[in-house]
Protein backbone atom coordinates (compact mmCIF):
# COMPACT_ATOMS: atom_id res chain seq x y z
CA UNK A 1 0.00 0.00 0.00
CA UNK A 2 1.15 3.46 -0.85
CA UNK A 3 2.38 5.73 1.95
CA UNK A 4 0.25 8.87 2.02
CA UNK A 5 1.78 10.45 5.13
CA UNK A 6 5.31 9.94 6.33
CA UNK A 7 6.66 11.53 9.50
CA UNK A 8 10.29 10.84 10.39
CA UNK A 9 11.94 11.84 13.65
CA UNK A 10 9.98 15.04 14.11
CA UNK A 11 10.90 17.23 17.05
CA UNK A 12 9.23 20.54 17.85
CA UNK A 13 10.43 23.02 20.45
CA UNK A 14 8.61 26.19 21.37
CA UNK A 15 10.46 29.21 22.71
CA UNK A 16 8.55 31.11 25.37
CA UNK A 17 9.31 33.72 28.00
CA UNK A 18 10.05 30.86 30.39
CA UNK A 19 12.57 29.38 27.96
CA UNK A 20 12.68 26.51 25.51
CA UNK A 21 9.97 23.87 25.74
CA UNK A 22 10.03 20.50 24.04
CA UNK A 23 6.59 19.75 22.64
CA UNK A 24 7.30 16.78 20.35
CA UNK A 25 10.32 14.51 20.55
CA UNK A 26 11.38 12.11 17.80
CA UNK A 27 7.94 11.29 16.47
CA UNK A 28 7.80 8.86 13.54
CA UNK A 29 4.84 7.18 11.84
CA UNK A 30 3.32 6.51 8.44
CA UNK A 31 -0.26 6.39 7.21
CA UNK A 32 -0.93 4.05 4.31
CA UNK A 33 -3.59 4.47 1.66
CA UNK A 34 -7.04 3.46 2.94
CA UNK A 35 -5.92 3.28 6.55
CA UNK A 36 -7.36 5.13 9.56
CA UNK A 37 -4.68 5.82 12.16
CA UNK A 38 -5.31 7.42 15.55
CA UNK A 39 -2.72 9.16 17.68
CA UNK A 40 -3.77 9.02 21.29
CA UNK A 41 -2.43 11.37 23.96
CA UNK A 42 -3.55 13.53 26.88
CA UNK A 43 -4.36 17.19 26.50
CA UNK A 44 -1.22 19.27 25.92
CA UNK A 45 0.81 16.34 24.55
CA UNK A 46 1.32 17.97 21.17
CA UNK A 47 -1.44 16.36 19.10
CA UNK A 48 -2.64 19.57 17.44
CA UNK A 49 0.98 20.57 16.93
CA UNK A 50 1.66 17.50 14.82
CA UNK A 51 -1.39 18.25 12.63
CA UNK A 52 -0.25 21.87 12.30
CA UNK A 53 3.13 20.64 11.11
CA UNK A 54 1.46 18.36 8.55
CA UNK A 55 -0.58 21.25 7.18
CA UNK A 56 2.50 23.49 7.05
CA UNK A 57 1.12 25.93 9.62
CA UNK A 58 4.16 25.12 11.75
CA UNK A 59 7.71 24.21 10.84
CA UNK A 60 9.28 21.27 12.74
CA UNK A 61 12.46 22.07 14.70
CA UNK A 62 13.98 18.98 13.13
CA UNK A 63 12.80 15.94 11.17
CA UNK A 64 10.90 15.39 7.94
CA UNK A 65 7.25 15.21 6.95
CA UNK A 66 5.80 14.39 3.57
CA UNK A 67 2.22 14.15 2.32
CA UNK A 68 1.02 12.89 -1.05
CA UNK A 69 -1.82 14.97 -2.46
CA UNK A 70 -4.32 17.29 -0.84
CA UNK A 71 -5.44 17.54 2.78
CA UNK A 72 -8.95 17.71 4.21
CA UNK A 73 -9.29 18.95 7.80
CA UNK A 74 -12.04 18.31 10.33
CA UNK A 75 -12.12 20.25 13.57
CA UNK A 76 -13.64 19.86 17.01
CA UNK A 77 -16.48 22.18 16.08
CA UNK A 78 -18.35 21.66 12.83
CA UNK A 79 -17.88 25.30 11.72
CA UNK A 80 -21.09 25.26 9.69
CA UNK A 81 -22.31 28.72 8.68
CA UNK A 82 -25.77 29.22 10.18
CA UNK A 83 -26.94 31.61 7.44
CA UNK A 84 -26.20 29.19 4.61
CA UNK A 85 -28.28 26.13 3.74
CA UNK A 86 -26.83 22.62 4.11
CA UNK A 87 -26.12 22.50 0.37
CA UNK A 88 -24.47 25.93 0.40
CA UNK A 89 -22.35 24.90 3.38
CA UNK A 90 -21.20 21.79 1.57
CA UNK A 91 -20.30 23.60 -1.66
CA UNK A 92 -18.34 26.26 0.25
CA UNK A 93 -15.02 24.48 -0.26
CA UNK A 94 -15.64 24.20 -4.00
CA UNK A 95 -16.69 27.83 -4.15
CA UNK A 96 -13.46 28.93 -2.52
CA UNK A 97 -11.52 26.83 -5.03
CA UNK A 98 -13.64 28.26 -7.91
CA UNK A 99 -14.85 24.78 -8.76
CA UNK A 100 -18.52 25.14 -7.93
CA UNK A 101 -19.52 24.47 -11.51
CA UNK A 102 -17.36 21.39 -11.67
CA UNK A 103 -19.78 18.65 -12.74
CA UNK A 104 -17.79 15.79 -11.25
CA UNK A 105 -17.59 17.45 -7.82
CA UNK A 106 -21.32 18.26 -7.81
CA UNK A 107 -22.15 14.66 -8.74
CA UNK A 108 -19.91 13.48 -5.94
CA UNK A 109 -21.73 15.72 -3.46
CA UNK A 110 -25.13 14.56 -4.66
CA UNK A 111 -24.09 10.93 -4.28
CA UNK A 112 -22.66 11.50 -0.77
CA UNK A 113 -25.78 13.37 0.39
CA UNK A 114 -28.07 10.64 -0.95
CA UNK A 115 -25.99 7.76 0.41
CA UNK A 116 -25.71 9.26 3.88
CA UNK A 117 -29.29 10.38 4.38
CA UNK A 118 -28.89 14.14 3.94
CA UNK A 119 -30.37 14.77 0.49
CA UNK A 120 -33.84 15.61 1.90
CA UNK A 121 -32.21 18.12 4.24
CA UNK A 122 -30.16 19.98 1.66
CA UNK A 123 -32.30 23.13 1.71
CA UNK A 124 -32.55 23.32 5.49
CA UNK A 125 -30.28 25.34 7.77
CA UNK A 126 -27.71 23.96 10.26
CA UNK A 127 -29.77 24.86 13.35
CA UNK A 128 -32.55 22.54 12.14
CA UNK A 129 -30.21 19.51 12.29
CA UNK A 130 -29.05 17.36 15.20
CA UNK A 131 -25.43 17.43 16.38
CA UNK A 132 -24.76 14.13 14.67
CA UNK A 133 -26.18 15.24 11.34
CA UNK A 134 -24.21 18.47 11.50
CA UNK A 135 -20.98 16.48 11.91
CA UNK A 136 -21.96 14.38 8.89
CA UNK A 137 -22.52 17.57 6.89
CA UNK A 138 -19.10 18.85 7.96
CA UNK A 139 -17.57 15.54 6.86
CA UNK A 140 -19.24 15.61 3.44
CA UNK A 141 -18.11 19.20 2.96
CA UNK A 142 -14.54 18.12 3.67
CA UNK A 143 -14.82 15.10 1.36
CA UNK A 144 -16.40 17.10 -1.47
CA UNK A 145 -12.99 18.29 -2.67
CA UNK A 146 -11.76 14.66 -2.72
CA UNK A 147 -8.75 15.00 -0.39
CA UNK A 148 -6.11 12.26 -0.36
CA UNK A 149 -5.90 12.41 3.43
CA UNK A 150 -8.37 13.51 6.07
CA UNK A 151 -6.98 14.99 9.30
CA UNK A 152 -9.31 14.95 12.30
CA UNK A 153 -8.52 16.93 15.46
CA UNK A 154 -10.70 15.54 18.30
CA UNK A 155 -13.71 15.80 15.99
CA UNK A 156 -16.31 14.52 18.46
CA UNK A 157 -15.25 15.99 21.79
CA UNK A 158 -17.78 18.82 21.58
CA UNK A 159 -20.67 16.32 21.45
CA UNK A 160 -22.38 14.78 24.47
CA UNK A 161 -21.62 11.14 25.33
CA UNK A 162 -24.67 9.49 23.70
CA UNK A 163 -24.38 11.49 20.48
CA UNK A 164 -20.66 10.87 20.37
CA UNK A 165 -21.06 7.08 20.39
CA UNK A 166 -23.51 7.28 17.51
CA UNK A 167 -21.59 9.81 15.46
CA UNK A 168 -18.26 8.04 15.89
CA UNK A 169 -19.71 4.83 14.49
CA UNK A 170 -21.50 6.74 11.76
CA UNK A 171 -18.39 8.60 10.60
CA UNK A 172 -16.19 5.49 10.79
CA UNK A 173 -18.63 3.64 8.50
CA UNK A 174 -18.58 6.48 5.98
CA UNK A 175 -14.78 6.67 5.96
CA UNK A 176 -14.50 2.92 5.41
CA UNK A 177 -17.20 2.82 2.73
CA UNK A 178 -15.52 5.68 0.84
CA UNK A 179 -12.04 4.17 1.37
CA UNK A 180 -10.77 7.37 2.97
CA UNK A 181 -7.24 7.60 4.37
CA UNK A 182 -7.37 9.38 7.71
CA UNK A 183 -5.28 10.50 10.65
CA UNK A 184 -7.15 11.33 13.83
CA UNK A 185 -5.77 12.76 17.05
CA UNK A 186 -7.72 12.39 20.28
CA UNK A 187 -7.36 12.09 24.05
CA UNK A 188 -10.34 9.71 24.21
CA UNK A 189 -9.30 6.04 24.28
CA UNK A 190 -12.71 4.65 23.34
CA UNK A 191 -13.00 7.10 20.45
CA UNK A 192 -9.57 6.06 19.18
CA UNK A 193 -10.41 2.36 19.38
CA UNK A 194 -13.83 2.55 17.76
CA UNK A 195 -12.67 4.88 14.99
CA UNK A 196 -9.41 3.32 13.85
CA UNK A 197 -7.66 0.48 12.12
CA UNK A 198 -4.57 1.22 14.20
CA UNK A 199 -3.92 3.31 17.34
- Give the interface with Mg ion as residue ranges (CB under 5 A): 48
Among the listed residues 35, 47, 60, 87, the single contact to ligand ADP using CB under 6 A = 47
49 binds, among ligand ADP, Mg ion, none (CB under 5 to 8 A by kind): ligand ADP
**Can you spell out the DSSP letters for 85-98?**
-HHHHHTHHHHHTT
- 146 is a site residue for ligand ADP (CB under 6 A): no
By CB under 6 A, the residues from 3 to 22 that bind ligand ADP are 14, 16
Per-residue burial over 152-161, b if 16 or more Cβ lie within 10 Å, else e, is: bbbbbeebee
- 105 is a site residue for ligand ADP (CB under 6 A): no
Rg over alpha carbons for the chain, rounded to the nearest Å, is: 17
Looking at the Cβ atoms of 20 and 82, the one nearer to ligand ADP is 20
Among the listed residues 3, 9, 28, 44, the single contact to ligand ADP using CB under 6 A = 44
Q: How far is the CB of 77 from ligand ADP (least distance, A)?
A: 15
Alpha carbon distance 155, 25 (integer Å): 24
Alpha carbon distance 169, 136 (integer Å): 11
117 binds, among Mg ion, ligand ADP, none (CB under 5 to 8 A by kind): none
Sign of the alpha-carbon dihedral angle for 47, 193, 177, 66: positive
- 48 is a site residue for ligand ADP (CB under 6 A): yes
- Contact segment (CB under 6 A) with ligand ADP among 30-38, 41-49, 140-148, 159-167 equals 41-49
Looking at the Cβ atoms of 87 and 185, the one nearer to Mg ion is 185
CA atoms within 13 A on the CB side of 39: 22
Alpha carbon distance 135, 31 (integer Å): 24
Looking at the Cβ atoms of 41 and 69, the one nearer to ligand ADP is 41
Alpha carbon distance 194, 142 (integer Å): 21
Alpha carbon distance 155, 137 (integer Å): 13
Looking at the Cβ atoms of 71 and 129, the one nearer to ligand ADP is 71
- Where along the sequence are the contacts to ligand ADP (CB under 6 A)? 14, 16, 23, 41, 43-49
Amino acid sequence: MEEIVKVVNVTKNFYTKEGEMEDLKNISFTVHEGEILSLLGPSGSGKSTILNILTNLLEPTSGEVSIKGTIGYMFQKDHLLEWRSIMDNITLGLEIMHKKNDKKSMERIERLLKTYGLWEFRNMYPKELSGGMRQRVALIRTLSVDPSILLLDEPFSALDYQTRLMVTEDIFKILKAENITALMVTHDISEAISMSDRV
